[in-house]
A and B are shown apart, each in its own frame.
Chain A
């Protein structure tokens, strides 16, 4: 078991609910959340932005040789999802029997991402599934 870092709970907003940032100066939306707007720089006025989790597949790949933490998950699919609100996010795509292609519509679901052995914490995270 690895001693969990503070990100286990500090990043819950992003991991559970896809909460990113929106710049009130220029309207740019960001995920993961940012302190400074990529467009506005010092004019940044960031607020939290809850994304719906709906989007479409921009790119994907099937992982056959996973890192140790996902050794029992392979093969699994990881992709880049363009959220309906704009930002592109990386995420696991669940194989629910529906074809996964570029352009496939997906929605976010709530799943475990990683369970740290028998005694460590359980990391919950959004994943995507084809709709």
Chain B
């Protein structure tokens, strides 16, 4: 059975506060903060994109795992902001971590859940014996149309997970993974379009809640586990409100989701969101803890995982840069004009 042998994360140091965006559009910052359960979001530096975030996370994952990187057999990078339309992000990652060229690599896109899809593919390849290790990465520098509600949440960050099958290397066994998928156009971005479009307040029920709930219930049915069996739960977090609501609906407490609930502080990192949440949860987990993770990607689908932490987590603990530490170190706030410049939203240059 495959499991996680290492993980790494990256969050840009730049932040913009809700107040800074709200004042430009004449909106009530306090109402937005309360409504979204979010106070600020991460912003990529001018020299950061989904590939550089993937690389930083991947390098930390390789270091944490302690594996011989030449034995990595596959790298899948999930993102909805791949820097090129044609030219893989995954190739940049494999060269930058000095992996072998004898490796499978591809980019994935499934809105905010392409990273967990990469983990599932890696699990299949590892469990089948085709490869020794595989890496799934979720990374994004997501787009929010200026003036749109998404502008308050669309942020940047990513996480990488290395999947292997050597019992002595696994820090967390993946007991089971299931998915729930349907053709639900709740949110999309057409080829060449700079910004995504969404169905506003009507995206929640048919999109996020339907898929997250069904995938999680399917996981319960397949494993016989129930919310009380898990020490922690992580959900995709497009804002700070939805994961709290869906956790409550499914029977999880606020305490169970607290370690992995990062959106209130860094916004929605899209493909990175549930994976960063899992990374932050693993940072504080103890051997024997069970963790439930359900991602969500618009379009729409959810991947759900039941994970059990092993004794090996403690021996690798000193090799990890904690997600909360990454989020809180060297934070730099930018104003709205700098944000527009750094996101290349200013025309005429």
Contact = CB atoms under 8 A, between A and B. Distances in A.
Contacts of B84: 122
Interface stretch (B49-57, B149-157, B309-317): B49-57
Contact of B49 (A73, A94, A112, A127): A112
A97 B45 CA distance: 13
A20 B140 CA distance: 31
B72 to A, nearest CB: 15
B51 A124 contact: yes
A113 B49 CA distance: 11
Interface string A66-81: 0000011100000000
Interface range on chain B: under 10, 10 to 19, 20 to 34, or 35 or more? 20 to 34
Contacts of A113: 47
Contacts, number: 49
A96 B46 contact: no
B45 to A, nearest CB: 7
B46 A124 contact: no
Contacts of A72: 46, 341, 349
A98 B55 contact: no
A23 to B, nearest CB: 21
Interface of B: 13, 45-49, 51-52, 55-56, 59, 83-84, 92, 95-96, 98, 330-332, 341, 349
A97 B51 contact: no
Given A17-B96, A113-B47, A124-B96, 10 more contacts: A71-B349, A96-B330, A97-B330, A97-B331, A110-B52, A110-B55, A111-B52, A112-B52, A122-B84, A127-B47
Contacts of A122: 49, 51, 83-84
Interface in A31-77: 50, 71-73
Interface SS of B by simple majority: loop
Interface of A: 12, 16-17, 50, 71-73, 94, 96-98, 109-113, 122, 124, 127
B13 to A, nearest CB: 6
Contacts of B341: 72
Given A97-B13, A127-B47, A110 B96 contact: yes
B252 to A, nearest CB: 36
A98 B95 CA distance: 30
B93 to A, nearest CB: 10
22 contacts: A16-B95, A16-B96, A17-B95, A71-B349, A72-B46, A94-B47, A96-B13, A96-B330, A97-B331, A97-B332, A98-B330, A110-B55, A110-B56, A111-B45, A111-B52, A112-B47, A112-B49, A112-B52, A113-B47, A124-B51, A124-B96, A127-B47
B48 A111 contact: yes
A50 B52 CA distance: 19
A16 B13 CA distance: 21
Given A96-B330, A97-B332, A124 B52 contact: yes
B56 A109 contact: yes
A17 B96 CA distance: 6
